[in-house]
Amino acid sequence: MHGVHEVAGSSPVSPTTHMITILLFYKFTRIDNPTKESLIHKEICLALGLKGRILMNEEGINGTVAGTSEAIALYRAYMNQHRLFKKIDFKESHSDANPFPKLKVKARREIITLDIQSPDALCVRAKHVDRDTFHDWLKKGEDMVLLDMRNDYEWEIGRFVNSVRPPMKYFRELKDSIDFYEPFRGKKIVMFCTGGIRCEPASAYFIAQGFDPSLIYQLEGGIVKYAEKYGNEGFYEGKCFVFDDRLSISINTSDSAVIVGHCYHCDQFNDIYHNCANKWCNKLFLACDSCHEKYHGTCSLSCQIIINDPVNVRPFHTPVLHRNK
């Protein structure tokens, strides 16, 4: 559900001097009239000068908003006194500039896209494991399977050590790749994603498919919450992909940070995403500075030839639709 731009920036998870604060959040709660509630919510966000994306349906809210620290403090105060949205576990990061071009608040059929025809079958979700317990499990070498519930291009630039790469380009493809996870039946499973919301329906889908609910956990607060406490000495390697203009945020901000991604062209270590300069392609790919210049911002020689005609060049800084599906 998120658009991205060509140039990827990078922000530490817990800086203290940046101008813009970004909140990532969700809550499953009964909303009787999500259309009406979304209109009220939009007015609040506009009054505070916030930008970002917020989705609502009868089951809850899923959003990410950005603004000044003062505006975000007022937004959190509003949410914390709201009868539906109080006690939300907000995940916070920071940026030098607002990473969203505008504000979108909408009522949708799904607040996280899984495309399941019978959503009622996903009412039983896995239990949460807090970041401290999870970190302790990792330190002790607990016998468990770490399942990444993000898209494959998110895994490419960062993941927990020894985690399983998802066999899906988009999250909505989970239902089509469930056979991949068959070898993990009967094993202790911990699911993780950026902020936690994708693990909610994912864990429910696994349980609906007959996986033992007593063996399935979901990381509470996701990667972002874990990184707030264990970013520099934890077990997450690389950056964390985010669905805004930053494209990624740094998890480990110390000298021990490593790069786990690889340039699409030369296979050297790299973690900078770009969209292909050919507007008819718009492929999202990793590229080092040298290859990005060599291929004129494209993902292939064929695309490089196509952009010889300026009419085929994607305008710089034009948002590219790249959905979290």
What letter represents residue 163's amino acid?
Answer: S
Active-site choice (45, 123, 193, 263) = 193
Residues in the chain: 325
What letter represents residue 59's amino acid?
Answer: E
Nearest to 5 by CA among 321, 308, 302: 321
Residue 61 CB contacts under 8 Å (≥ 6 apart), including other chains: 25, 26, 27, 29, 31, 54, 55, 84, 85, 111
DSSP 24: E
Spatial contact of 224 and 240, defined as CB atoms under 8 Å apart: yes
What is the arrangement of strands in the sheet containing 103-107, beginning at the earlier edge strand?
A: 91-95, 20-28, 60-68, 51-57, 103-107
State how far Cα 287 lies from the chain centre: 20
User: φ and ψ at 310, to 5 degrees?
Assistant: -55, -25
Q: Respond yes or no: is residue 281 known to be catalytic.
A: no
DSSP 150-174: S-HHHHHHEEETTPBPPS-SSGGGG
- CA distance linking residue 315 with residue 207, whole number of Å: 45
Task: Quote the tokens at residue 3.
Answer: 């658009």
Spatial contact of 85 and 79, defined as CB atoms under 8 Å apart: yes
Residue 228 CB contacts under 8 Å (≥ 6 apart), including other chains: 13, 14, 91, 92
- CA distance linking residue 152 with residue 169, whole number of Å: 5
Residues taking part in catalysis? 193
